Chains A and B, each alone.
Chain A
Amino acid sequence: MSFLKIQDIHHTYFSNQTAATALADISLDIEKGEFVSFLGPSGCGKTTLLSIIAGLFPPTSGKILLENKPLKANSDLSIGYMLQQDYLFPWKTIEENILLGLKLIKKDEGLERIKTLKLLSDVGLGDTGKLYPRELSGGMRQRAALARTLAVDPKILLLDEPFSALDYQTKLKLEDLVFETLKSFGKTAVLVTHDIGEAIAMSDRIFLFSANPGSVYKTFKVPDELRELTPFHARNHPQYPMLFQTIWKELESLEY
C-alpha cells in the first residue's frame, strides 16, 4: 500500500458566471521516503493540487489517503508546507519563528525545544536564533523556513517552488541542503516547480502536468545514477542532459 494515495481528484473553481476546471482525473501514488516533483507550465493546476494535499481546501471530488487514512485538514501535523517565499513573521525572532508550529500545539518547551534549536544548527543557522528575519539574507531566511517546517516533524513535505525567489548560487546550495536534510530524516516530499533541471536533480519521479484542464500527462522515472547524487552533482552527470532533453521535448509538444 502506498504512503500517499491521490484518487480521482477533480477540482473546479467557481465564480458567479464561470466555472474553470483546474484539475481533472488525477490519480497517483507516492511511496514513503520518495521525492517527487510536479512539473508543468503555469496554469496547469500543480499548486492547486499541492494546496489540496495540504488540506487548505477540499477538492470538488476525489480523495487523498495518507497511510490509508483519509487526510483530514488540521487533525494532526502530518503535512509540512513551504512556500515560494519564506513568510517568516517579521515581528518574531528566528527562534520564535521556528518554534511557532510547536507553540500552536503547546509543545514548545523542554525536549521539543532543544530538538528544534538543534534543527536550526542543522540548517547552518545555529547562532541566529535571537535575530529578526530582516537581519538575514534571502537564502538564510528560506533555510529558517525549512527548519520551521521540519520542527513539527511532518510526515510529508510539500514544497511550492521554494527556490524560485533565490539567486542561482543560493538556489543550488539550498537544493543540496533540502535534499540532504530530507534524505537524512527519511521524509517524503512533493516539489512543485517549473524548472526542469531542479526537478531532475532533486526527485525520484517527475509528474509532468498539462494544462486545460490540469492533468498528469506523463511520468518520468529519474535513473538511479542520478537519484543517488546530490542535486549539484546530478546536474553534472552525463545522464542529466539526456533526461532534460526528453522532458524538454514533451513540454514543447504540450504548448502546441
Chain B
Amino acid sequence: MWHLFIQKLGDGTLLSHSGVTLFETVLGFIIGTLLGTILASLLWWSPRLSKTLDPYLVILNAMPKVALGPIIIVAFGPGFPSIISMGAIISIIITTIVVYTAFREVDPNYLKVLQTFGATKTQAFREAILPSSFPTIISTLKVNVGLSWVGVIVGEFLVSAKGLGYLIIYGFQVFNFTLVMLALMIIAVFATIMYQLVELLERKLIKD
C-alpha cells in the first residue's frame, strides 16, 4: 500500500483525486450546515412556516437521502454540482431539526429580559437565541463532518468520474484492493483533520 501511495503520489493522480473529493466535501459540509441553520432560523422566525413545514421535515428526515442520488444527478448533471448537493442534502434536514429544537429550548426568561429592554425580534435572535445555541450548532457540525463524507463518496460512486469515491469503485471493479484501502486511509486522515478543525472552532466560539 505504501508503495502504491508513493507511486500514485508521484504521477499526481492521487493528489488530484484527493483534492477533488476534499473540495466537494468541505463545500457540501459548509453548504449543508449553513442552509440547515438558516432554515432553522426561518422556522423560528415564523411559527406559521414551521407548522406548515413540520410534516415535510419529518418525512424528509426519515428518507434515506442517498436514494435521491439518481434524481440529483439527472437534475444537476453528472459532475461537481451533483456531488456537492449530495454532500449538502444529507446533512441539511437533520441540521434544521436539531438547531430549530435548540432555538426553541432557549430559556424564555432570557427573552423576557430582552423584551423588557424593548428588543426587536432580530435583536433577540442575535443576543440570546443564536449564542445560546452555539453548543448545539457545534455538535451538529461534528455530526455533519461524517455525513458530508458519506454524501460525497456516494455521489462519486454514482457519477464515477473523479475523486476518492471513484478510486474505491474503480479499485473494487478491477479487484485492486490495495487501491481501495489506500483511498479509505486518505479519507480517514482528512475526516479526522476536519473534525479537529471543528473542535478548534468550538474552543474559539464557546468560552464557558
Contact for B207 among A73, A81, A105, A132, CB less than 8 A = A132
CB closest residue in chain B, given A96:
B127
A101 touches B208 (CB 8 A): no
Which residues of chain B from 91 to 128 have any CB-CB distance to chain A below 8 Å in the complex? Answer: 107, 109-110, 112-119, 123, 127-128
Contact across chains for B118 and A134 when beta carbons are under 8 A apart: no
Pick from A85-93, A198-206, A207-215, A232-240 the stretch touching chain B: A85-93
* A85, B109: Cβ atoms closer than 8 Å: yes
Q: If the complex has contacts A89-B128, A100-B127, A134-B208, are A74 and B109 also in contact, measured as CB distance less than 8 A?
A: no
Query: Is B136 an interface residue when CB atoms closer than 8 A count as contact?
Result: no
Q: What residues on B are CB-neighbors of A114 within 8 Å?
A: none
State the Cβ distance, A241 to closest chain B Cβ, in Å: 36
Chain A residues lying within 8 Å of B112, measured Cβ to Cβ, are: 56, 81, 83, 87
Name the distance in Å between B188's Cβ and chain A's nearest Cβ.
34
Determine whether B41 belongs to the interface, using a CB cutoff of 8 Å to chain A: no
Residue of B nearest to A133 (CB): B208
CB-CB under 8 A from A85, the residues of chain B are 109
A19 contacts the other chain (Cβ, under 8 Å)? no
Q: Does A77 make an interface contact (CB < 8 A)?
A: yes
- Contact B117 A91, beta carbon cutoff 8 Å: no
Q: Are B116 and A81 within 8 A (Cβ)?
A: yes
A76 within 8 A of B: yes
Partner of B117, one of A75, A100, A134: A100
- A87-B109, A100-B113, A105-B118 known; 13 other A-B pairs, CB under 8 Å? A56-B115, A74-B118, A77-B118, A81-B113, A87-B110, A87-B112, A87-B113, A89-B110, A89-B132, A91-B131, A91-B207, A91-B208, A134-B208
By Cβ-Cβ distance, the 8 closest A-B pairs, closest first, are A81-B116, A74-B118, A101-B117, A91-B131, A87-B109, A104-B119, A104-B117, A87-B113
Q: Which residues of chain B have a CB within 8 Å of any CB of chain A? A: 107, 109-110, 112-119, 123, 127-128, 131-132, 134, 206-208
- Can you give 12 A-B contacts (C-beta < 8 A)? A54-B116, A55-B116, A77-B117, A77-B118, A81-B112, A87-B107, A87-B112, A89-B128, A91-B131, A91-B132, A91-B206, A132-B207
Binding site for B on A (CB under 8 A): 54-56, 73-77, 79-81, 83, 85, 87, 89-91, 100-101, 104-105, 132, 134, 152
